[in-house]
DNA sequence: TTTTAATATTGCAATATTACGATGATATGT
DNA sequence: ACATATCATCGTAATATTGCAATATTAAAA
Protein backbone atom coordinates (compact mmCIF):
# COMPACT_ATOMS: atom_id res chain seq x y z
CA UNK A 1 0.00 0.00 0.00
CA UNK A 2 2.98 2.33 0.33
CA UNK A 3 1.47 3.83 3.45
CA UNK A 4 3.48 3.48 6.62
CA UNK A 5 1.34 2.60 9.63
CA UNK A 6 2.87 5.20 11.92
CA UNK A 7 0.11 4.87 14.50
CA UNK A 8 1.40 1.44 15.43
CA UNK A 9 4.68 2.82 16.74
CA UNK A 10 5.92 5.15 19.45
CA UNK A 11 6.70 8.80 18.85
CA UNK A 12 10.38 8.10 19.38
CA UNK A 13 10.39 5.35 16.81
CA UNK A 14 8.58 7.51 14.30
CA UNK A 15 10.89 10.43 14.97
CA UNK A 16 14.02 8.40 14.42
CA UNK A 17 12.55 6.97 11.24
CA UNK A 18 11.67 10.45 10.01
CA UNK A 19 15.17 11.73 10.59
CA UNK A 20 16.70 8.64 9.03
CA UNK A 21 14.51 9.15 5.99
CA UNK A 22 16.13 12.51 5.39
CA UNK A 23 19.55 10.88 5.50
CA UNK A 24 18.33 8.08 3.27
CA UNK A 25 19.28 9.83 0.06
CA UNK A 26 22.91 10.38 -0.99
CA UNK A 27 22.14 13.82 -2.37
CA UNK A 28 20.92 14.95 1.04
CA UNK A 29 23.92 13.37 2.71
CA UNK A 30 26.16 15.21 0.26
CA UNK A 31 24.32 18.47 0.81
CA UNK A 32 24.57 18.16 4.58
CA UNK A 33 28.24 17.23 4.39
CA UNK A 34 28.94 20.22 2.22
CA UNK A 35 27.03 22.73 4.30
CA UNK A 36 28.35 21.45 7.60
CA UNK A 37 31.93 21.78 6.40
CA UNK A 38 31.58 25.35 5.21
CA UNK A 39 33.08 28.17 7.22
CA UNK A 40 30.21 30.46 6.41
CA UNK A 41 26.65 30.43 5.23
CA UNK A 42 25.61 28.97 1.94
CA UNK A 43 24.48 31.21 -0.83
CA UNK A 44 23.90 29.41 -4.10
CA UNK A 45 26.40 27.03 -5.72
CA UNK A 46 24.80 23.86 -4.37
CA UNK A 47 23.42 23.04 -7.79
CA UNK A 48 26.91 23.10 -9.28
CA UNK A 49 28.44 21.21 -6.37
CA UNK A 50 25.92 18.40 -6.26
CA UNK A 51 25.07 18.16 -9.93
CA UNK A 52 21.33 17.76 -9.77
CA UNK A 53 18.88 20.23 -11.23
CA UNK A 54 17.87 23.33 -9.36
CA UNK A 55 14.30 22.18 -8.60
CA UNK A 56 15.61 18.86 -7.33
CA UNK A 57 18.12 20.51 -5.03
CA UNK A 58 15.40 22.83 -3.82
CA UNK A 59 13.24 19.87 -2.92
CA UNK A 60 16.03 18.08 -1.09
CA UNK A 61 16.82 21.25 0.84
CA UNK A 62 13.20 21.42 1.82
CA UNK A 63 13.28 17.90 3.24
CA UNK A 64 16.31 18.87 5.30
CA UNK A 65 14.61 22.04 6.45
CA UNK A 66 11.56 20.05 7.57
CA UNK A 67 13.48 18.30 10.34
CA UNK A 68 14.90 21.62 11.48
CA UNK A 69 18.48 21.12 10.42
CA UNK A 70 18.84 24.46 8.65
CA UNK A 71 18.73 27.97 9.98
CA UNK A 72 19.19 31.36 8.34
CA UNK A 73 17.23 33.51 5.96
CA UNK A 74 15.06 31.77 3.44
CA UNK A 75 13.66 34.71 1.53
CA UNK A 76 14.80 36.84 -1.32
CA UNK A 77 17.08 36.18 -4.21
CA UNK A 78 20.16 34.95 -2.42
CA UNK A 79 19.51 32.62 0.43
CA UNK A 80 21.81 32.47 3.39
CA UNK A 81 21.63 29.49 5.60
CA UNK A 82 23.66 26.91 7.46
CA UNK A 83 23.31 23.96 9.79
CA UNK A 84 21.35 24.54 12.97
CA UNK A 85 24.01 23.34 15.32
CA UNK A 86 21.70 22.76 18.25
CA UNK A 87 19.40 20.57 16.21
CA UNK A 88 22.37 18.83 14.65
CA UNK A 89 23.63 17.81 18.07
CA UNK A 90 20.14 16.76 19.05
CA UNK A 91 19.99 14.36 16.13
CA UNK A 92 23.48 13.15 16.89
CA UNK A 93 22.29 12.33 20.38
CA UNK A 94 19.20 10.58 19.04
CA UNK A 95 21.30 8.24 16.95
CA UNK A 96 23.80 7.81 19.73
CA UNK A 97 21.08 6.69 22.12
CA UNK A 98 19.60 4.36 19.58
CA UNK A 99 22.91 2.65 18.95
CA UNK A 100 23.87 2.57 22.62
CA UNK A 101 21.00 0.36 23.66
CA UNK A 102 22.19 -3.12 22.96
CA UNK A 103 22.50 -6.25 25.01
CA UNK A 104 25.46 -8.55 24.76
CA UNK A 105 24.26 -12.06 25.62
CA UNK A 106 23.60 -13.46 22.24
CA UNK A 107 24.27 -16.21 19.75
CA UNK B 1 11.56 9.29 -12.14
CA UNK B 2 11.86 7.81 -8.65
CA UNK B 3 15.36 6.63 -9.49
CA UNK B 4 18.14 7.85 -7.24
CA UNK B 5 21.23 8.88 -9.19
CA UNK B 6 23.69 7.02 -7.00
CA UNK B 7 26.52 7.33 -9.52
CA UNK B 8 26.74 11.02 -8.77
CA UNK B 9 27.81 10.44 -5.19
CA UNK B 10 30.68 8.87 -3.30
CA UNK B 11 30.59 5.35 -1.93
CA UNK B 12 30.55 6.71 1.59
CA UNK B 13 27.58 8.92 0.85
CA UNK B 14 25.70 6.07 -0.78
CA UNK B 15 26.53 3.73 2.08
CA UNK B 16 25.29 6.10 4.72
CA UNK B 17 22.12 6.67 2.72
CA UNK B 18 21.59 2.93 2.38
CA UNK B 19 21.93 2.36 6.10
CA UNK B 20 19.71 5.32 6.89
CA UNK B 21 17.09 3.92 4.54
CA UNK B 22 16.83 0.81 6.69
CA UNK B 23 16.26 2.97 9.76
CA UNK B 24 13.78 5.09 7.83
CA UNK B 25 10.80 2.97 8.79
CA UNK B 26 9.39 2.86 12.32
CA UNK B 27 8.71 -0.87 12.06
CA UNK B 28 12.36 -1.55 11.39
CA UNK B 29 13.38 0.77 14.20
CA UNK B 30 10.99 -1.09 16.49
CA UNK B 31 12.28 -4.45 15.35
CA UNK B 32 15.89 -3.42 15.90
CA UNK B 33 15.10 -1.95 19.30
CA UNK B 34 13.36 -5.13 20.33
CA UNK B 35 16.04 -7.49 19.11
CA UNK B 36 18.89 -5.45 20.52
CA UNK B 37 17.31 -5.38 23.94
CA UNK B 38 16.78 -9.13 24.15
CA UNK B 39 18.99 -11.23 26.31
CA UNK B 40 18.93 -14.09 23.86
CA UNK B 41 18.24 -14.85 20.25
CA UNK B 42 14.93 -14.23 18.63
CA UNK B 43 12.72 -17.07 17.61
CA UNK B 44 9.27 -16.03 16.44
CA UNK B 45 7.01 -13.60 18.33
CA UNK B 46 8.03 -10.55 16.33
CA UNK B 47 4.72 -10.59 14.47
CA UNK B 48 2.83 -10.37 17.76
CA UNK B 49 5.17 -7.76 19.20
CA UNK B 50 5.14 -5.41 16.23
CA UNK B 51 1.63 -5.97 15.01
CA UNK B 52 2.16 -6.13 11.27
CA UNK B 53 1.43 -9.19 9.19
CA UNK B 54 3.89 -12.04 8.92
CA UNK B 55 4.89 -11.33 5.31
CA UNK B 56 5.46 -7.68 6.13
CA UNK B 57 7.66 -8.48 9.11
CA UNK B 58 9.55 -10.97 7.02
CA UNK B 59 10.25 -8.31 4.42
CA UNK B 60 11.39 -5.78 6.99
CA UNK B 61 13.69 -8.35 8.56
CA UNK B 62 15.15 -8.96 5.14
CA UNK B 63 15.96 -5.28 4.68
CA UNK B 64 17.75 -5.33 8.04
CA UNK B 65 19.61 -8.48 7.08
CA UNK B 66 20.76 -6.87 3.84
CA UNK B 67 22.95 -4.36 5.64
CA UNK B 68 24.45 -7.11 7.77
CA UNK B 69 22.85 -6.22 11.07
CA UNK B 70 21.65 -9.72 11.89
CA UNK B 71 23.55 -12.89 12.57
CA UNK B 72 22.46 -16.38 13.50
CA UNK B 73 20.79 -19.24 11.73
CA UNK B 74 18.40 -18.36 8.96
CA UNK B 75 17.26 -21.77 7.88
CA UNK B 76 14.68 -24.17 9.05
CA UNK B 77 11.39 -23.71 10.79
CA UNK B 78 12.46 -21.73 13.79
CA UNK B 79 14.94 -19.00 13.12
CA UNK B 80 17.41 -17.97 15.72
CA UNK B 81 19.14 -14.69 15.26
CA UNK B 82 20.27 -11.52 16.97
CA UNK B 83 22.09 -8.29 16.29
CA UNK B 84 25.54 -8.59 14.76
CA UNK B 85 27.31 -6.55 17.36
CA UNK B 86 30.39 -5.84 15.26
CA UNK B 87 28.32 -4.48 12.41
CA UNK B 88 26.13 -2.59 14.86
CA UNK B 89 29.15 -0.76 16.23
CA UNK B 90 30.39 -0.13 12.72
CA UNK B 91 27.16 1.64 11.84
CA UNK B 92 27.26 3.52 15.12
CA UNK B 93 30.70 4.75 14.15
CA UNK B 94 29.50 5.70 10.65
CA UNK B 95 26.80 7.94 12.08
CA UNK B 96 29.13 9.27 14.72
CA UNK B 97 31.64 10.35 12.10
CA UNK B 98 28.95 11.90 9.97
CA UNK B 99 27.64 13.98 12.83
CA UNK B 100 31.07 14.90 14.13
CA UNK B 101 32.11 16.79 11.03
CA UNK B 102 30.69 20.23 11.51
CA UNK B 103 32.18 23.68 11.45
CA UNK B 104 31.16 26.37 13.88
CA UNK B 105 31.54 29.74 12.14
CA UNK B 106 28.08 30.34 10.95
CA UNK B 107 25.07 32.64 10.85
C1' DT C 1 4.66 -40.27 5.83
C1' DT C 2 1.47 -37.04 6.95
C1' DT C 3 0.58 -33.17 9.58
C1' DT C 4 1.77 -28.99 11.63
C1' DA C 5 4.07 -24.75 12.72
C1' DA C 6 7.12 -21.13 11.21
C1' DT C 7 9.04 -18.39 7.78
C1' DA C 8 9.69 -17.02 2.73
C1' DT C 9 8.04 -15.74 -1.75
C1' DT C 10 4.80 -14.04 -5.12
C1' DG C 11 1.58 -10.90 -6.92
C1' DC C 12 -0.82 -6.98 -6.55
C1' DA C 13 -2.88 -2.42 -5.10
C1' DA C 14 -2.07 1.90 -2.88
C1' DT C 15 0.96 5.38 -1.87
C1' DA C 16 5.57 7.72 -1.76
C1' DT C 17 9.81 9.31 -3.76
C1' DT C 18 12.83 11.15 -7.20
C1' DA C 19 13.84 14.07 -10.90
C1' DC C 20 13.20 17.71 -14.10
C1' DG C 21 10.98 21.08 -17.49
C1' DA C 22 8.09 24.87 -17.31
C1' DT C 23 6.60 28.49 -14.87
C1' DG C 24 6.15 31.79 -10.99
C1' DA C 25 7.90 34.84 -7.47
C1' DT C 26 11.29 37.95 -5.55
C1' DA C 27 15.02 41.03 -5.08
C1' DT C 28 18.90 43.40 -7.12
C1' DG C 29 21.27 45.94 -10.81
C1' DT C 30 20.98 49.04 -14.83
C1' DA D 1 10.58 50.30 -15.47
C1' DC D 2 13.00 46.56 -17.27
C1' DA D 3 16.05 42.86 -17.44
C1' DT D 4 18.47 39.46 -14.84
C1' DA D 5 19.68 36.16 -11.45
C1' DT D 6 18.13 33.09 -7.88
C1' DC D 7 15.13 30.16 -5.67
C1' DA D 8 10.22 28.03 -5.14
C1' DT D 9 6.28 25.65 -6.96
C1' DC D 10 3.53 22.93 -10.20
C1' DG D 11 2.79 19.23 -13.09
C1' DT D 12 4.15 14.98 -14.60
C1' DA D 13 6.66 10.59 -15.62
C1' DA D 14 9.30 6.86 -13.84
C1' DT D 15 10.46 4.12 -10.16
C1' DA D 16 10.38 2.59 -5.20
C1' DT D 17 8.15 1.35 -0.94
C1' DT D 18 4.65 -0.57 1.99
C1' DG D 19 1.41 -3.97 3.20
C1' DC D 20 -1.17 -8.09 2.86
C1' DA D 21 -3.65 -12.29 0.92
C1' DA D 22 -2.46 -16.35 -1.14
C1' DT D 23 0.74 -19.67 -1.70
C1' DA D 24 5.18 -22.07 -1.26
C1' DT D 25 8.88 -23.87 1.39
C1' DT D 26 11.03 -25.95 5.22
C1' DA D 27 11.96 -28.80 9.23
C1' DA D 28 10.36 -30.93 13.14
C1' DA D 29 6.56 -33.61 15.43
C1' DA D 30 3.15 -37.14 15.40
CA distance B89 to B68: 12
Q: So what's the pLDDT on residue B12?
A: 97
Q: Are B80 and B72 in contact (CB under 8 A)?
A: yes
CA distance A33 to B81: 35
If contacts are CB pairs under 8 Å, which of residues 33-52 in chain A contact chain B?
33, 36-41, 50-52
Question: Beta partners for B83?
Answer: B70
Pick the CATH number of A19-94 from 1.10.10.10, 1.10.760.10, 1.10.3210.10, 4.10.640.10: 1.10.10.10
- Domain extents in chain A: 19-94
Select the residue of A24, A39, A95 nearest B17 (Cβ to Cβ): A24
B85 SS3 class: helix
Q: So what's the pLDDT on residue B41?
A: 67
Q: So what's the pLDDT on residue A74?
A: 72
According to DSSP H, which parts of chain B are helical? 11-23, 26-37, 46-50, 54-66, 85-100
CA distance A58 to B97: 26
Q: Are A74 and B66 in contact (CB under 8 A)?
A: no
CA distance A14 to A53: 30
pLDDT band at A104 (very low <50, low <70, confident <90, very high): low
CB of B65 lies under 7 Å from some atom of strand D: no
Would the CB atoms of B83 and A98 count as touching at under 8 Å? no
CA distance B81 to B87: 14
pLDDT band at A81 (very low <50, low <70, confident <90, very high): confident
A73 closest CA partner among B95, B107, B13, B82: B107
pLDDT value at A40 more than 80? no
Q: For A11-35, write each residue's pLDDT tens digit.
A: 999 999 999 999 999 999 999 999 9
Q: So what's the pLDDT on residue A107?
A: 65
Q: For B39-98, write each residue's pLDDT tens digit.
A: 666 767 899 999 999 999 999 999 999 999 998 887 667 788 889 999 999 999 999 999
Q: So what's the pLDDT on residue A49?
A: 93
- The CATH fold of domain B25-97: Arc Repressor Mutant, subunit A (1.10.10)
Amino acid sequence: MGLTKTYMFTTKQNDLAKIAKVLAHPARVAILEYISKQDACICTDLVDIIGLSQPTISQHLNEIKKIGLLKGTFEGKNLCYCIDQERWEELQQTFHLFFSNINRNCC
